[in-house]
Structure 1
C-alpha cells in the first residue's frame, strides 16, 4: 500500500492521516485496546522509512489516539471523555462515502475553518465521498438572547445581536457555498447544507460526525469591550475558540457508554431540529 504521490504533504503526515482514519472509522478493525502493527511492518506497508513511521506515530500520540508501552508496542487509546481537536476527526469523516455533519452552537466559525482542509482534499481528488450533508442549528440573533448582553444591567443590545447575526451569516454562508459547489462541479453526487435557527441561547457547542462520533464543549463567557458601528460596548460574550471539546465514539454495541452518548446527542439534535427550529433565509 503506497502513499499518494500527488499528495503535497510530507510522508509522515500522509501515514498519520491514513492511520488516523483507520482508527477513527475502524476500517481496519481497530478498537480501543487493539495493538497497531509494528514499526517495520508499517514502514513496509506504506513504502517509507522507519523514521517516517515513528514521526507519524508521534503525531497520533500527541492527539491522544494511541499510547505506546515500552517493550509492548503502540495501542489504540480509549478516546471517550477526553479533550480533542476537531480537525483530524473531520478529515477522517471525509474518508467515508456518506459524510454527515450536524452542528449546534453559536456561529459555526470553528467548523468553517476546520472543514477547509478536507474540502481541499475533495477538490483535489484525494478523497471522494459520494455525498455530503451538513445541518447547522444556530440561535436566531434577530431575537433577544442571553448572550451577548450589556455588562450594565444585562441589557439586550440590538447592535450586539446584529454583530452576532453577521458572524453567523458569514460562516454559515461560507460553509453552504463551499460544500454545495462540490456537487455543481461534479466532484460529489450530492452536497447539501441546511440552516435552521431557534430562540434559545447557545451556551455549548455540539458536533456529530457520520452519526458515530459526538463532540461536546461548553462556551466560556467573558467580558469584552469593543467599538461597533461607531459606539463602544462593554458586554458579556461567548469565547468559542477557547472551548474544550470532548468526544464520545460509538462502540462495538449499543450498550457501550460511547454509543449511548452519541445516540442521545443525535436524539437531542433531531428533536430540536424538528420542533422549535425554523428556517430564516437571511440567517443562511
Structure 2
C-alpha cells in the first residue's frame, strides 16, 4: 500500500445527503483513503465489460491507484476478464509554479513544496503504470495501456470517468497544514483530497436528472484538456 498523501483521498459514506446549489441532489460517495469502498464497486463493475476505459483528472492519482488495485488483482487471478484496458491520467505539473501547493506564510511558490508533491505523484503513477502494464505482459488481457499527461493548472478537483458512462466529481478543499520540507516543518496551503466528497453521475434509462449531460460534458472537458494544453508526463 502506498503512503497516503493528504491531498488525495475519499472518506466513508456519510448518512447525510449533501445538496449542491444548481445541481441535482446526489448522495456523496465517501471512503477512507486506504479503502475507497464508495468508488471501488463502480470500477470493479466496469471491468466486467469487454473494453475498459478510465479517465482520471486530479492531483497525484493516488486515489485512483488505491481504488483500482484490488480490481486489477481480480483480473490477475482470472475473476475478471476484460480484453482491453485503457487508462488516461491528467494531473498538475509539479515541476512548474502554480497557486497550490504553496507556502501559507506568504502564499508564495516554493520548489521544496512542489518537490515533495512530485515525489508523491511519482510513487502513485509508477505503481499504477506497473500494475496496468503487468496484465498485458502476463498475457491476461489483449491490450493494456496507461497514458499520463500534465498541465499547469492548479489541482482544484478530482474527476473520474468510467467506461465513458459514469462520472465522479469532487472539489479539493484548500487547507493549511504543516509538512516536512527539506527536513524542516513548513506550513503550507494544500489541496486536501481526503476531505473531498465525490458526487456520482450515473445515467440510466429512466434517469430524468442531468447526469447524462454531465457525463457528456465531463468527457468533452477531459478530451479538450488532453488534446490542447497538456503534455506528456516525464518522471
Give the Cα–Cα distance (whole angstroms) in 2 for the partners of residues 227 and 166 of structure 1: 13
CA RMSD, Structure 1 to Structure 2 (Å)? 1.9
> Residue 87 of structure 1: CA displacement?
1.1
Task: Give the 4+ runs in structure 1 shifted more than 4 A.
Answer: 253-256
Deviations 1:128-176 (A, max 9, x none): 0001100000001000011111011101010000011111111011111
> Residue 242 of structure 1: CA displacement?
1.7
* Partners of 2:14 and 2:28 within 8 A in 1: no
Give the Cα–Cα distance (whole angstroms) in 2 for the partners of residues 130 and 238 of structure 1: 36
Structure 2 counterparts to residues 25-104 of structure 1, below 5 A: 81-84=26-29, 85-104=38-57
- Secondary structure of 1:222's aligned partner: strand
Residue of structure 1 aligned with 2:63, choices 104, 110, 121: 110
TM-score between both structures, scaled by the size of structure 1: 0.69
Higher helix share: 1
- Secondary structure of 2:117's aligned partner: helix
TM-score between both structures, scaled by the size of structure 2: 0.83
- Secondary structure of 1:121's aligned partner: helix
Structure 1 unpaired stretches of 5+: 1-61, 65-78
> Residue 253 of structure 1: CA displacement?
8.2
Give the Cα–Cα distance (whole angstroms) in 2 for the partners of residues 253 and 259 of structure 1: 11
> Residue 231 of structure 1: CA displacement?
2.0
Give the Cα–Cα distance (whole angstroms) in 2 for the partners of residues 111 and 87 of structure 1: 9
Residue of structure 2 aligned with 1:141, choices 63, 80, 94: 94
Greater length-normalized contact order (CA 8 Å, ≥ 6 residues apart):
2
* Partners of 1:103 and 1:207 within 8 A in 2: yes
* Partners of 2:52 and 2:86 within 8 A in 1: yes
* Partners of 1:80 and 1:258 within 8 A in 2: no
Give the Cα–Cα distance (whole angstroms) in 2 for the partners of residues 267 and 139 of structure 1: 19
2:135 is matched with 182
- Quick check: 1:272 aligned with 2:196? no
- Secondary structure of 1:145's aligned partner: coil
